[in-house]
Structure 1
Amino acid sequence: MNVLELKDVTKRYGEFTAVDSVSLTIEKGKVLSLLGPSGCGKTTTLRIIAGFTSPDSGTVEISGNNVGHLKPYERNVGLLFQDYALFPHMTVAQNVAYGMRYRGTPKSEIPSRVKQLMSLVQLAGMEARYPSQLSGGQQQRVALARALATDPQIVLLDEPLSALDAKLRLELRIELKEILRSVGATTIVVTHDQEEALSLGDEVVVMRGGKIVQRGSPTQIYAAPADKFVAEFVGRSNWFHGSRLSSSRDGVSIYVTSEGSELQAKTELSNQHDNADLCVRPENIELMGGAVGEVAQDSECNVVVGVVLDVAPLGADMHVVVELPRKGRLLAIRKNAGRSPGFVPGQPVRAQFSASDVLVFKAGGSV
């Protein structure tokens, strides 16, 4: 059952189209991430659902009912704002209970509901504190409890973790996912953070220029991006521009790149473009030292030679930047097991990757 359905929703501000004929559904109990760069339309879409912004055309339905005429407080929607928007003069308990008092929850039930929610967000015993007495992470949990207090049909989260430091964001991202799953909340998360979107969402919607460019599972979005924009925006990528030299019946094409290399790409026949942008994810690149002229044993394995430019240990990962002979650079990511990185600047290396790990896009366009 679809809890939310947007049908051809459009919103313009003068000559600028913020949301362009967006149609979207979300099933009960699912978490949907709206992902995209600033100005892509994701926040405007969220505001239209919440009732803070009226669309110029199109409809918004919640549980099959058109809510376009309803004010924000008349829609059974829970909201968690980027800045949390807690009332500073109210205690934690009063903040959590605020929506219940104005939506008809019997007074006798409010204290037990507040206690239940405080336990859910792991803040039991802090009901009498004020927001100024809480850390950023604790304020975020209070705001989440308030959003869930009225048992909303949809929970809308607008950049819910952006105000927190990196370590706390990771910790609360895990907790947030567990909480949403435990209560079965139908949720839309707006974010520009790709890791946040991929980790929280059962599905991810990528937006650009007011339009939806791809919708799919986190795995689909990352491994099978619909176009070059999605491939660039989600994850890290190495890019080559190539002209097709030949193709075989098994889907392997050979491209001559602008750097002078020949690369093999194994794709669907419909993706064998004469002029193509070729993408290789850094984690799919294996670096090998030794003689530069050696070739790979696998007939469908690509080899690009270069010289190590930089080695950067970044926590769990080791980033190795390779300078290519003619122009351009290549990023390879290895797992950092706490041992010697194995490569040093100035060292000749071979970068190897499979033909099936090369994503092919029509030059300047979509797949």
Structure 2
Amino acid sequence: MNVLELKNVTKKYGEHVAVDGVCLDIEKGKVLSLLGPSGCGKTTTLRIIAGFTSHDSGIVEISGKNVGHLRPYERNVGLLFQDYALFPHLTVAQNVAYGMRYRGTPSSVIPSRIKQMLSLVRMSGMEGRYPAQLSGGQQQRVALARALATDPQIVLLDEPLSALDAKLRVELRIELKEILRSVDATTIVVTHDQEEALSLGDEVVVMQAGKIVQRGTPTQIYAAPADKFVAEFVGRSNWFHGATRDRFTGGVSSYITSEGAEIRAKSAQSEQCGRADLCIRPESIELVEEAAGAIAPDPERNVLTGVVFDVAPLGADVHVVIELPGKTRLLVIRKNIDRIPAVVPGQSVRAVFAASDVLLFSDRR
């Protein structure tokens, strides 16, 4: 059963179309990530669902009921704001209780519900503290407890981790996912952070210019992007522009790039693309030193020769930039482990990747 359905929802600000005919649904207990750059319409969509922003046309249904005319507190939606919006003059317990009191929860139920929610977010014993006495991570937990306390039909999270430092963001992302699963919350997460969207969402919706451009599982969004925008926005990519030169059996096509390199691609699109943008993910590329000797020809494998331009150790990964003929640069991401030989700037290497790892996007200019 769908808890939420948006049907052709549109919102304009003057001549600017912020949300353009969006159709969206979410099943009970699922977590849906709305992902996109600033100004794509994701936060406006969230505010329309919550009732803070009216829509110009379309229908918003929660549990089969049209809620377009209802005020925010009448929609039974829990909202965690980007800045948490805790009341500084209220204690932790009073903040968690606020929504329940406002929505008429019996007074006899509130104390036990506060205790239950604070235990859920691991904030037991903090009932008497004020927001100023809490760390950023603790404030986030209290805000989440407040959002869940009213037992909402839908939980809306607006950039829930953006105010935290990088390490804490990773830790709380895992914790947040565990909490949402434990209460079987139907949740929409709005974020511009691709790692956050991919890790939290059962499904990811990518938005651009007020429209939904792709919806799918995190794996589908990353491995099979619907267009060049999604491929560029989600994950790191190396790009070439090429034109078909030859086609081979087995669905392999050969492209000559604008820099003069040959790249072979194997995909369903390769038969349809004359001119195309070619995308290779950095982690799909293997580096082979020139000293390793010749590489046997393979029609389904690409080998590009270049020189190491830069090496950047980044914890678990090492980012290696290869300069190819024509000054084209290729990013390669390797694991930082002892059994992989280190490379150094100035070293001659070969970048090897499968034809099936090349993503193609037709250029119809």
Q: TM-score, normalised by structure 1?
A: 0.97
Shift of 1:17: 0.4
Task: Determine the structure 1 residue equivalent to 2:344.
Answer: 344
What do the CA deviations read for 1:274-301 (whole angstroms, capped 9, x no partner)?
A: 0000000000000011259934453311
The 8 Å contact of residues 203 and 216 in structure 1, kept in 2 or not, is answered as: yes
- Please tell me whether residue 151 in structure 1 is matched to residue 151 in structure 2: yes
Against the structure 1 CA distance between its residues 29 and 200, is the aligned structure 2 distance closer, same or farther, given a 3 Å change threshold? same
Matched to 2:263, the amino acid is L
- Cα deviation digits, residues 174-203 of structure 1 (max 9, x gap): 000000000000000000000000000000
Equivalent pair of 1:271/1:361 in contact (CA under 8 Å)? no
Residues 271/39 of structure 1: CA separation in 2 closer, same or farther (3 Å cut): farther
Shift, 1:340, TM fit: 7.6
Q: Which residue of 2 aligns with 1:358?
A: 358
Does the 8 Å CA contact 2:253/2:271 hold for their aligned counterparts? no
Which segment is superposed worse, 242-251 or 14-23? 242-251
In structure 1, the residue corresponding to 2:118 is in which secondary structure?
A: helix
Query: Is the 1:292–1:349 Cα contact (8 Å) retained in structure 2?
Result: no
Give deviations 1:22-67, integer Å, cap 9, x for gaps: 0000000000000000000000000000001111100100000000
Alignment check: 8 A CA contact 1:272 1:360 kept: no
Partner of 1:106: 106
User: % of aligned pairs identical?
Assistant: 78
Instruction: Determine the structure 2 residue equivalent to 1:215.
Output: 215
The 5 Å alignment of 1:316-327 reads 316-327=316-327
CA separation of 1:247/1:140 partners in 2, compared to 1, >3 Å: closer, same or farther?
same
Instruction: Give SS of 1:152's match.
Output: coil
The answer to whether the Cα contact below 8 Å between 1:189 and 1:197 also exists between their aligned partners in 2 is yes
Tell me which residue corresponds to 2:306: 306
**Equivalent residue, structure 2, for 1:86:** 86
Query: Which range is displaced more, 148-157 or 329-338?
Result: 329-338
Match of 2:27 in 1: 27
> Could you tell me which residue of structure 1 aligns to residue 192 of structure 2?
192
The count of corresponding residues between Structure 1 and Structure 2 is 365
RMSD: 1.4
Quick one: distance in 2 between partners of 1:277 and 1:50?
A: 39
Q: 1:272 offset after TM fit, Å?
A: 3.3
Moved more, 264-273 or 28-37: 264-273
- For structure 2, the 5+ residue unaligned runs are none
| Partner SS, residue 321 of structure 1 | strand
What CA distance in whole angstroms lies between the structure 2 residues aligned with 1:278 and 1:40? 25
User: Can you list the C-alpha shifts for 1:95-140, whole angstroms capped at 9, x where unaligned?
Assistant: 0011111112111111111001111000110000000000000000
Question: Relative to 1, partners in 2 of residues 1:338 and 1:134: Cα closer, same or farther, differing over 3 Å?
Answer: farther
Looking at structure 1, the residues matched to 339 and 358 of structure 2 have their Cα atoms a distance apart, in angstroms, of 29
Contact 2:10 2:18 in 1 (8 A): yes
C-alpha separation between the residues in 2 aligned to 1:262 and 1:50? 51
Look up the match of 1:250. 250
Equivalents in 1 of 2:316, 2:10: separation in Å?
43
Which one-letter code corresponds to 1:300 in the other structure?
E
* Equivalent runs, 1:1-367 vs 2, <5 Å: 1-268=1-268, 272-290=272-290, 294-337=294-337, 342-363=342-363
Q: Could you tell me which amino acid in structure 2 is paired with residue 351 of structure 1?
A: A
String of CA shifts for 1:240-262, please: whole Å, max 9, x gaps: 11100121342110001111111
Residues of 1 paired with 2:292 and 2:152: CA distance? 62
